[in-house]
Structure 1
Amino acid sequence: MDIRHLRSFVTVAENLHFSRSAEQLGLSPPTLTAQIQEVERLLQARLFNRTKRSVSLTPAGEAFLTEARATLEQLDRAIHVGRRAGRGQVGRVEIGYVGSAAFFGVLQDQVQRFRNQWPDVMVNTKEFPTDQLTPLLEEGRIDVALVRTPVLLPPSISSHILARDRFCLALPADHILAQTPSDIHPRALANESFVVPEQALGLREVGKRGRFNPHIVSAPGTLVAVLTQVALGVGVAVIPSILTQIIQLPNVVYRQIAGPAITSEVEALFRRHERLPTVRNLIGQILETDASLWKAGFPQSMQINCPKQNA
């Protein structure tokens, strides 16, 4: 017995008329009769009482009609869900991110916009260390990664810049360089001890401009942990300036770095040849994001500057 047998039976049961049902199904009356007889043979039960003037359901036919309708309704739901999944309208996406992507607001922006567009797709998010994100993406354990660059990418992974920021300094409040409101030149940092976050691009550029090799005393991991160690007087840190807008710790002062801005970028990473429709929909949204319009979740006209003193 297959689906066409069920549909034929339900149609006859609802019409109680073989000729009309055959026309509705696009079958000849003999073909429809043969299908019903095949169902009755398989069930070993008579489903219809049929005379020259009327057709009616037997008790077995009434019982079978309830289950046949339920089966067809479930099939229709399955087909509907399958088609929606094929268009990426249902399913799940897994996003891995580093903390600064959430600090900057790009994680919230991407997730909210995607949920608004595809409300039946489940979006799962989880924070990971930077060095784990690319392998997780390659292994298929996450679908998109939000990272702070630079990150070494294998050929199978593509990227798109979501937001740009600039680096600045975080210093203990009693540090001598924290006592001046002027920008700090990289050369003035040559003898400092540094607390370094996962992404050390800013510090490397400061050392290059100041012509010194940074003395790193701690690498605690997250940006919050970095600022905590600065507050404890462990050292100074080169950090994304977005933190000056959202994290104010006692005993931490922020200062700008003199000279051209040292750029910090947040990128989305994704598989170059993605096949899942749900993930392709998210990637399409990401590719439409213009990093030039982003400054901590606001248009670029709202500039981020490191405050001259700890507020």
Structure 2
Amino acid sequence: MELRHLRYFACVGEAEHFGRAAKLLKIAQPALSRQIQDLEAELGVALFDRLPRGVRLNAVGRSFLDDARRILREVNEAKLRVERIAAGQTGTLRVGFGETQAWHGAVPDSLRAFREQHPTVELELHAMASSRQVDAVSSGNLDAGFIFSLTKPPSEFAHRKVARHKLVLAAPKDHPIMSLDSVRLRELRDVPFIWFHRWVYPRFHDRLIRACLRDGALAPQIVQQVTDHATMLSLVSCRLGVAFVSEATRWQCPAGVALRPVDDLNFSLPFYLIWKKNNSSTLLREFLENVWTVTNARDS
């Protein structure tokens, strides 16, 4: 039994006439009659009562017509799903990002634009550290990830730089350091710091320490180590110390925390969008176009 048998049967069953059905199907009536006979022979039962003028579905035929319609409908829906996926109109796109990127800028703007243009797509969003995103994109668990990296991403990835954020000082608003006209590293020598654990971002940790130690400016007094920006800002708000954070955290700062540039801290965080070079997903291609549009608009 093939799909054409079901289509022919459904048309004859609805028209209850071989001649009219043949015209609708644009085939010869004798050929249509043979197809229905072949179907009945395969099923081992008659589906129609033959009348002097036309045919009429019998009880078995009426039941089989319901099944034939359902099968044809499901096949058509499956075909449409495939076409929509191929056209990037539906399916699932999995994107990772860092917490500080989600508040403002290229990440939320790109996601918002993609959602508006693809309302039927399932968008899986995963907030995770950059190192975990690299592993997830490499293994195929993510289609793309917005990561912070001080070096270009590994060669297995295609990538685009989407932003560069400077490091600034986060401190309680009434901290004495905030009363200065400008802040330099040497003025932070006796100030307790909250810092990232080295194992979270080893290269970032080491380079930031070196930047502070340059020319003997600052050996930071680290009193607490954390794993994420949210905890860091919370502890600054609790007055446990100050911290160097991305300028992007201004969108999630607690009410009692202020951000200040440090004049002689020349340190910035490049953010990239990465994806596997061999990922041929239409949805990914559509998402990348959204990111290009958003980042080009911001750069212009």
Q: Which residue identity lines up with residue 134 of structure 1 in the other structure? A: V
1:216 positional shift: 6.4
Aligned residues: 293
> Closer, same or farther in 2 for the Cα pair 1:153/1:290, shift >3 Å?
same
Residues 16-165 of structure 1 mapped to structure 2, 5 A cutoff: 16-150=16-150, 153-165=153-165
Q: TM-score, normalised by structure 1?
A: 0.81
Mapped pair 1:226 → 2:246 = no
Residues 123-272 of structure 1 mapped to structure 2, 5 A cutoff: 123-150=123-150, 153-171=153-171, 176-180=176-180, 182-189=181-188, 194-197=193-196, 200=204, 203-204=208-209, 206-207=211-212, 210-211=215-216, 214-215=219-220, 217=222, 218-232=224-238, 234-250=240-256, 252-259=257-264, 262-272=267-277
Which runs of at least 4 in structure 1 moved beyond 6 Å after TM superposition? none
Helix, strand or coil at the partner of 1:283: helix
Deviations 1:64-119 (A, max 9, x none): 11221121111111111111111121111122221111133433222221111111
Q: Are the counterparts in 2 of residues 196 and 203 from structure 1 also a CA contact under 8 Å?
A: no
Q: TM-score, normalised by structure 2?
A: 0.84
Moved more, 206-215 or 265-274: 206-215
Helix, strand or coil at the partner of 1:80: helix
Mark the runs of 5 or more structure 1 residues left unpaired by the alignment.
Answer: 295-299, 301-311
Paired-residue identity, %: 24
CA RMSD in angstroms, aligned pairs only:
2.9
Q: Which residue identity lines up with residue 148 of structure 1 in the other structure? A: F
1:246 positional shift: 3.5
1:51 positional shift: 4.0
Partners of 1:292 and 1:13 lie apart in 2 by 58
Helix, strand or coil at the partner of 2:168: strand
Q: Which residue identity lines up with residue 30 of structure 2 in the other structure? A: P
Q: Are the counterparts in 2 of residues 22 and 28 from structure 1 also a CA contact under 8 Å?
A: yes
> Closer, same or farther in 2 for the Cα pair 1:54/1:174, shift >3 Å?
closer
Which is helix-richer, 1 or 2? 2
